[in-house]
């Protein structure tokens, strides 16, 4: 059983993100889902980004970091899209991090340190034709090449938030495979 801190994507803590977390809970994991947008949910990535920009990107990231403060040691940090920035930072800078799940995005390791930390396994997931993920694919490839504790999974298709069943980007087959891979990861960390 893993203790997972799951950060939602740029469209907010949608019903699909909640359902994703519930699937992990049914598998026996403890999953925390902070709402960094105070209940605001958006129909499009563009609307969510406009909200985040107006609220302050750094302020939202600071709220995400604060949400991790009281959880203790041994947390798996998971982020979807925009909030990968928070999860990846925590995974790279928290000595007790148990693992990282970077969904639909990945930053260069150099954003948060010199190297990916030893002993912190990580999975990166995204679709090959997703324009957002295509921009991050070089960073994900670099991460995987820099450590033996990293896996990169690239799914066929062009949807961005494909594991959120409340959005039009949802892809049931890809989401099921992603959940299975995450399930195996969480039983091993």
H, E, C per residue of 73-91: CCEEEEEEHHHHHHHHHHH
Rounded average pLDDT over 146-166: 97
Rounded average pLDDT over 27-56: 97
Q: Which CATH code fits 3-188? A: 3.40.50.1820
What does the alpha-carbon distance between residue 138 and residue 144 come to, in Å, rounded to a whole number?
10
> Is residue 48 over pLDDT 90?
yes
Rounded average pLDDT over 22-29: 97
pLDDT of residue 72: 87
Locate the domains of the chain by residue range: 3-188
Residue with tokens 């107006």: 54
- For the chain, give me the number of helices (H) and strands (E)? 6, 6
Q: Are 23 and 31 in contact (CB under 8 A)?
A: no
Q: What stretches of 10-53 adopt beta strand conformation (E)?
A: 30-32
The answer for residues whose C-beta is within 8 angstroms of residue 128's C-beta and 6 or more apart is 134, 154, 155, 156, 157, 158
Task: Report pLDDT digits (tens) over 164-180.
Answer: 999 999 999 999 999 99
pTM of the entire predicted model: 0.97
Whole-angstrom CA distances from 3 to 25, 43, 59, 69 are 10, 30, 25, 14
Confidence of residue 155 (pLDDT cuts 50, 70, 90): very high
Rounded average pLDDT over 132-143: 97
What does the alpha-carbon distance between residue 187 and residue 15 come to, in Å, rounded to a whole number?
25
- What percentage of residues in the chain have a pLDDT greater than 70? 100
> Is residue 123 over pLDDT 90?
yes
> Is residue 12 over pLDDT 90?
yes
H or E stretch at 186: helix 172-188
Task: Report pLDDT digits (tens) over 57-105.
Answer: 999 999 999 999 989 899 999 999 999 999 999 999 999 999 999 999 9
Crossing angle of the two packed helices 57-68 and 45-55, in degrees rounded to 10: 90
Average pLDDT, the chain: 97
Rounded average pLDDT over 53-60: 95
Reported as half-sphere exposure (CB side, CA atoms, 13 A), residue 53 has a value of 6
């Amino acid at each position: 059983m893993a203790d997972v801190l799951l950060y939602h994507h740029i469209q907010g803590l949608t019903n699909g993100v909640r359902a994703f977390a519930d699937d992990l809970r049914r598998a026996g994991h403890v999953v925390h889902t902070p709402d960094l947008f105070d209940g605001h949910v958006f129909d499009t990535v563009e609307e969510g980004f406009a909200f985040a920009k107006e609220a302050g990107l750094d302020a939202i990231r600071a709220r995400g970091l604060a949400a991790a403060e009281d959880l203790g040691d041994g947390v798996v940090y998971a982020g979807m899209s925009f909030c990968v920035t928070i999860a990846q930072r925590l995974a790279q800078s928290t000595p007790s991090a148990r693992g990282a799940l970077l969904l639909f995005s990945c930053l260069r390791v150099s954003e948060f340190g010199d190297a990916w930390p030893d002993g912190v396994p990580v999975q990166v997931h995204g679709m090959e034709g997703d324009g957002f993920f295509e921009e991050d694919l070089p960073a994900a490839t670099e991460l995987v090449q820099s450590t033996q504790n990293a896996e990169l999974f690239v799914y066929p298709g062009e949807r961005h938030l494909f594991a959120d069943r409340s959005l039009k980007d949802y892809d049931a087959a890809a989401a099921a495979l992603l959940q299975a891979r995450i399930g195996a990861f969480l039983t091993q960390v």
